[in-house]
Structure 1
Amino acid sequence: DYDYGADDEEGGVAIRALYRIVDRNLDVPVRPSAGTDHRYAYTYWHTIANLVAAFRDLYCTAYGADQGTAT
């Protein structure tokens, strides 16, 4: 429920779009299960890690400088 800013703010639209992609990938039907091939499971979790890193980087670029928290 975090406020990612208005659509016209820098980064607001991009962060919302990336959030929807991450949310879609975390949906239960696409997650690996106990019977999933280990290669697919690895690829899935690797993709999730990359999406989270992209979300972090985009957020820090858009809002970190304002708050002095960009690293």
Structure 2
Amino acid sequence: MDHDFGDGDEEGGVAIRALYRVTDRNLDTPVRPDATTAHHDAYTYWHTIANLTAAFRDLYITCYAEPEPST
């Protein structure tokens, strides 16, 4: 999450900052599952974290993917 995606809209900066805020809230210690968390709630939490990780991957690929060489 520490990668510098830029500040401007052209590099996805606005989307990255919004996604970063959502992810930061979800990774905050008070909302993490613990031993008293119901299994379904823990699953939902980790599923959300996995989706946020995939969203970061997709935005990174969209912003910084190398164009495919033409043959």
Q: Same fold (TM over 0.5)?
A: yes
Considering only aligned residues, what root-mean-square deviation do their CA atoms show, in Å?
Answer: 1.7
TM-score, reference length from structure 2: 0.81
What is residue 12 of structure 2 aligned with on the other side? 11
Give unmatched runs, 5+ long, in structure 1.
none
1:6 shift after superposition: 2.0
1:23 shift after superposition: 1.0
The answer as to whether partners of 2:5 and 2:11 remain within 8 angstroms in 1 is no
What is residue 64 of structure 1 aligned with on the other side? 65
**Identity rate, percent:** 72
The whole-number CA distance in structure 1 between the counterparts of 2:23 and 2:65 is: 20
1:59 shift after superposition: 1.2
Aligned residue pairs: how many?
Answer: 67
Give unmatched runs, 5+ long, in structure 2.
none
* Runs ≥4 residues deviating over 4 A: none
With 12-21 and 33-42 compared, the bigger mean Cα shift is at 12-21
TM-score, reference length from structure 1: 0.81
Aligned partner of 1:34: which letter?
A
